[in-house]
Amino acid sequence: MTAARAWSARPFRWVWAASGLSLLGSEIGDLAIPLLALLTLDASPGEIASLRLAQFAPFLLLTLAFGVLVDRMGRRRLMITADLGRGLVLLTVAAAVLWWTLPVGWLVVAAFALGTLTVLYQLADFSFLPQVVPREALADANAKLSATQSAMSLAGNGAGGVAVQVLTAPFAILATAGSYLLSALLLRRVRVDDPAPVAEAGQPRGAWRQTREGIEFLVRDRVLRALAGEAGTWNLFNEILLLGLTLHVVRTFEYGAAALGGLLMVAGLGGFLGAWLSGHATRRFGYGRSLVATLAVGNTIPLALGLAQDGSVAALLLYAVVLTTSGFAVGLANAQAVTVRQLITPAPLRGRVNGAYRFVSWGMVAVGASLAGVVTTVWGPFAAILVGAAGTTVATLWIVFSPIPSLRDLTE
């Protein structure tokens, strides 16, 4: 498989461009919305945690149901609907902040709506990509999308931090809305067969029975189960770490919003490099060994954040090195894990199995947001950083005690 295979499919180029814009908007919004609440609406740590909980609660509440929906409807249509919906929600938020008074409670409602539409988009996107590129180009396509995701994280967090610092959060949110609307326009140009999947003979017809089929497939497969367990554990504790880091940096460092944006920007750079080199690492060392070694370093190094608590330049540089290294590990792991999941899962089950996977992995972000509010309120932001770093270290054990270390090729 060569790198040209994915690019040779014109529909993939449109999907790649739309995905890049959508991801850019997500990254700017993920930084701008909490900073809007913190700096403009004077929200408390508990309210910030509630905001994050509302944003990720749909991964717990709606992911399984949306998995069934994705397996019943055209995936491209669902992606366009989700992009248009997110753009309109953010336009409403920006207008309310600029011309009226926006209570934090209404921002929480908007965050829940954004999270709901993001769940729909991500589930449909996962199932739609195998319709856009041939099977042999799938790993290359996912590597490119993962590298783009990291690049957009790099650009989005940097741009978001600067925009909030210079232009204020409402204008950063307007930019986010525009990116979603442009993404929807690009997806309309994708010309591939996208029929609503037809139920196969013998396939369960009830929504709950179909949902259970996806859950059972995930639980039975040892590779999928390990990947979901690692992702869920990491997401839970990383959410605690992230809230602690956000509050600590904004309150401790000069030009706190810009400093936070810069730190998330270098983390995105690490993720970009990891995704870009993931194919080389797999060919050189094998998928399993490269993944275990990378996660052993990347999931453990956040413990080094506990070495500096002041607002000095040295502390900021230490944070940058730690987040870059951790980002590299996440970028490498994600690029290959998505392909493994797509290859293992039969096409008629992709929406439901991915829904079950997201329920476990991203649903833990909502749990982490709840715990983050408690930890930061009781013990303070720096304690949340330490608790989160300890938890991400444990996440690697899911991969160590699974069949994954013995895998050399993604298609095994």
Highest mean pLDDT among 193-202, 215-224, 305-314: 215-224
pLDDT for position 163: 58
Tokens representing 95 are: 């207008």
Cα dihedral value 41, 54, 236, 162, nearest 10: -40
pTM more than 0.75: no
Tokens representing 189 are: 């140009």
State the pLDDT confidence band at 202, using cuts at 50, 70 and 90.
very low
Question: Could you tell me if 270 and 331 are in contact, meaning their C-beta atoms sit under 8 angstroms apart?
Answer: yes
pLDDT for position 153: 61
pLDDT for position 233: 95
**Mean pLDDT confidence for 179-195:** 82
**Mean pLDDT confidence for 367-390:** 88
CA-to-CA distance for 373 and 210, rounded, in angstroms?
35
CA-to-CA distance for 159 and 364, rounded, in angstroms?
28
Helix (H, G, I), strand (E, B) or coil at 350: helix
Check pLDDT > 90 for residue 391.
Answer: yes
Closest CA to 63 of 110, 119, 109, 114: 119
Tokens 């991969």 label which residue?
399
pLDDT for position 390: 93
Closest CA to 245 of 323, 153, 193: 323
The predicted-structure confidence for 57-107, as pLDDT tens digits, reads as follows 887 788 888 887 887 777 888 999 999 999 999 888 888 877 777 777 788
* Residue of 229 and 156 predicted with greater confidence: 229
Question: Could you tell me if 326 and 267 are in contact, meaning their C-beta atoms sit under 8 angstroms apart?
Answer: yes
Check pLDDT > 50 for residue 146.
Answer: yes
pLDDT for position 4: 44
pLDDT for position 154: 59
* Least confident residue range of 189-193, 217-221, 291-295: 189-193
- Which residue type, as a one-letter code, is found at position 106? W
pLDDT for position 205: 57
Tokens 């270098």 label which residue?
266
Check pLDDT > 70 for residue 161.
Answer: no
CA-to-CA distance for 364 and 232, rounded, in angstroms?
5
- Which residue type, as a one-letter code, is found at position 209? R
Domain positions in the chain are: 7-188+207-406
**Domain 7-188+207-406 class?**
mainly alpha
CA-to-CA distance for 237 and 365, rounded, in angstroms?
8
Closest CA to 399 of 262, 265, 231: 231
* Residue of 121 and 344 predicted with greater confidence: 121
- Tell me whether residue 135 is exposed, middle or buried, using C-beta atoms within 10 angstroms of its C-beta: 0 to 12, 13 to 18, 19 or more: exposed
State the pLDDT confidence band at 148, using cuts at 50, 70 and 90.
confident
Check pLDDT > 80 for residue 52.
Answer: no
CA-to-CA distance for 365 and 357, rounded, in angstroms?
13
Check pLDDT > 60 for residue 165.
Answer: no
* Least confident residue range of 28-32, 57-61, 95-99, 390-394: 28-32
Question: Could you tell me if 67 and 355 are in contact, meaning their C-beta atoms sit under 8 angstroms apart?
Answer: yes
Highest mean pLDDT among 54-63, 97-106, 232-241, 324-333: 232-241
Tokens representing 245 are: 């880091």
Closest CA to 21 of 242, 179, 135, 197: 179
Tokens representing 410 are: 């993604």
The runs of H, that is alpha helices, within 253-362 are 256-285, 287-298, 313-344, 350-361
The predicted-structure confidence for 257-273, as pLDDT tens digits, reads as follows 778 878 877 887 888 78
pLDDT for position 1: 36
CA-to-CA distance for 380 and 400, rounded, in angstroms?
33
Count H helices and E strands in the chain, helices first: 17, 0
Check pLDDT > 60 for residue 200.
Answer: no
pLDDT for position 173: 79
**Mean pLDDT confidence for 295-319:** 87
pLDDT for position 162: 57
Whole-number average pLDDT of the chain? 80
Check pLDDT > 50 for residue 189.
Answer: yes
Check pLDDT > 90 for residue 353.
Answer: no
Q: What percent of the chain stands above pLDDT 70?
A: 87
pLDDT for position 354: 82
State the pLDDT confidence band at 158, using cuts at 50, 70 and 90.
low
Buried b / exposed e over 146-172, threshold 16 CB at 10 Å, is bbbbbbbbbbbbbbbbbbbbeebbbbb
